[in-house]
Amino acid sequence: MRIIDLLRFARERGEPIFSFEFFPPKTEDGERALFETVEALRPLGPAYVSVTYGAGGSTRAKTVELVKRLKRESEVEAMAHVTCVGASRDDIASVLDEVAAAGVQNVLALRGDPPRGQPGFVPHPDGFRYASELVAFIRSEPKRWRFCVGAAAYPEGHPETRDLGQDVRNLKVKVDAGADFLVTQLFFDNVHYFRFVDRARAAGIGVPILPGLMPFTNVEQVERFTAMCGAAIPPALRAAMEVRRNDPDAARELGVAYATIQSADLVRRGAPGVHFYTLNRSTSTRAIVAALRASEPWRF
């Protein structure tokens, strides 16, 4: 099913959707664990799961293989990430053809991060420089690819464009090219999400905007990710993290508690759902969604 339809049905019922992002494991044991994780998540009613590319598009083939397997073997809708990194138009078309033939209806169209060690993004000579061009390419052949297309959004501004006004103008180009919904980069202060939604709506962007959260499991991890994406850590959270820096169990408990509070506030205030960056660690995310399902904060 198309994710935009899942979002519409959920809105009609007055309920949020929950979704989960995974990356392709490097081993057979890791792959087996991923499918066990998806199976364990099924009782919590995930709307969909997505599978990323590795850095620089390095796991493109594995991503396609996993998305096809998820579509074939699980009862959870799957979404494939597709990036511009190191890929020609023909490469991208081949990926889109393959996942479409497998019955996958959803793709997340991304520019992608440059390969490790490369200071900036360099497009393939026969590829795309921006995600908006990739979205337009997918939309250029509606009979060939009938995908629901998602795209990324940055509540605190793109790491390469900290000008919030310019960032939302760039986003408008991407949506006008044909994006059906948006998923945000991670953030730790909900005020960034709601201000971003206000900016997007004022710019004429009307598509659903799913907030993306990362339930952190250790302090070094969250510092590494925020350094890459430019997300700010609120002072109170940073202080709580510092106290738990050398206590992995306490750090993980803090990550679960904080993300649960964040999620409950988001859906209670009207966010259409929450997309969780799981880092292939489902225990924390399962605890968060189970708590949300039990309390149904959107009802209050």
Write out the catalytic residue numbers.
Answer: 21
Centre a 10 Å sphere on the Cβ of residue 259 and count the other Cβ atoms it contains: 24
Give the end-to-end CA distance of the chain in Å, rounded to a whole number.
Answer: 29
Residue 113, SS3?
coil
- Give the integer Cα–Cα distance in Å for 266 and 194: 9
Residue with tokens 């006004």: 165
The answer to whether 276 and 287 are in contact (CB under 8 A) is: no
Mode of pairing for the β-strands spanning 273-277 and 17-22? parallel
**Sequence-ordered strand ranges (E) for the chain:** 17-22, 48-51, 77-83, 106-110, 148-153, 181-186, 209-213, 273-277
DSSP 35-52: HHHHHHHGGG--SEEEE-
Phi, psi of 66 (to 5 degrees): -70, -40
Calculate the CA dihedral of residues 89, 186, 41, 290 and round it to 10 degrees. -160
- Give the integer Cα–Cα distance in Å for 163 and 160: 9
Centre a 10 Å sphere on the Cβ of residue 160 and count the other Cβ atoms it contains: 11
Q: Is 257 exposed, middle or buried (0-12, 13-18, 19+ CB in 10 A)?
A: middle
The answer to whether 235 and 229 are in contact (CB under 8 A) is: no
- Give the integer Cα–Cα distance in Å for 13 and 183: 21
